[in-house]
Amino acid sequence: MGQEITHRHFKKNDFEIFRNKINSELQWVSNWFKQKEQSLSQNNLSQKSHHPLSIGFELESCFIDQNAQPACINDEFIQRLKDSPFSPQITKELAQFNIELNSSVFTINRHILRDLEDELNKLWSECETIANNMGCSQIMIGSLPSLQEQHLKLDNMSQMTRYKALNEQVLRSRKGRAIELDIQGAETLKSVHQDVMLESTATSFQLHF
């Protein structure tokens, strides 16, 4: 899961280091797929890997109040969670009404789906108890229907340096151009933002290998 950073202004060398690390990871993934393709072509499916595959999940959820409106409580929520054994696995997401739950790392075996489900239930139950004690609830949903433009402002961004840095660097890469959303369908949704808070409207469940 993402870690907090100590500063938000970077030098040219920082970007070079970042690009090199990205390229190194992409090369590793490319080599991994090539090795797998070679094993398949040589019918080596029966050979066990010396590096067992591992997996974990990430769940992004929303906090809502009793009227199903976004509840900007993740700062206080994290404070209340600090004595929980699950505290290291839970962090703030982009908006103050978002939270992120991360599983332990599991080795893939025939019980893996059950293991993941068990951990998800434990994490969710712990978080729901704390949220309920604050008069709120969690909800697993792609986009919260009650979100309005007034919720998507920088004042509602989580108080973490890494999100402030993210906002600054995204706009820097776009040379200050606004981020535009234009969805055409049975209904039309258009929105223009001078920040990254549109990203907080989409939450998901992800499996990481």
The predicted structure's pLDDT at residue 32? 82
Write the CA distances from 105 to 52, 120, 128, 178, integer angstroms.
Answer: 12, 12, 22, 38
- Residues in CB range of 62: below 8 A, 6 or more apart: 70, 97, 98, 99, 138, 139, 141, 144, 203
Average pLDDT, the chain: 92
Share of the chain above pLDDT 70, in %: 93
pTM of the predicted structure, to 2 decimals: 0.84
pLDDT tens for 80-119 read 999 999 999 999 999 999 999 999 999 999 999 999 999 9
What's the whole-number mean pLDDT along residues 48-66? 88
What's the whole-number mean pLDDT along residues 195-206? 96
- Asked if 134 and 80 touch (Cβ cutoff 8 Å), the reply is yes
Beta-carbon count within 10 A of 120 CB: 16
Beta-carbon count within 10 A of 33 CB: 9
The predicted structure's pLDDT at residue 9? 83
SS3 166: helix
pLDDT tens for 118-145 read 999 999 999 999 999 999 999 999 999 9
How far apart CA 132 and CA 130 sit, in angstroms, is 5
pLDDT tens for 20-55 read 999 999 998 899 888 877 776 665 544 555 667 899
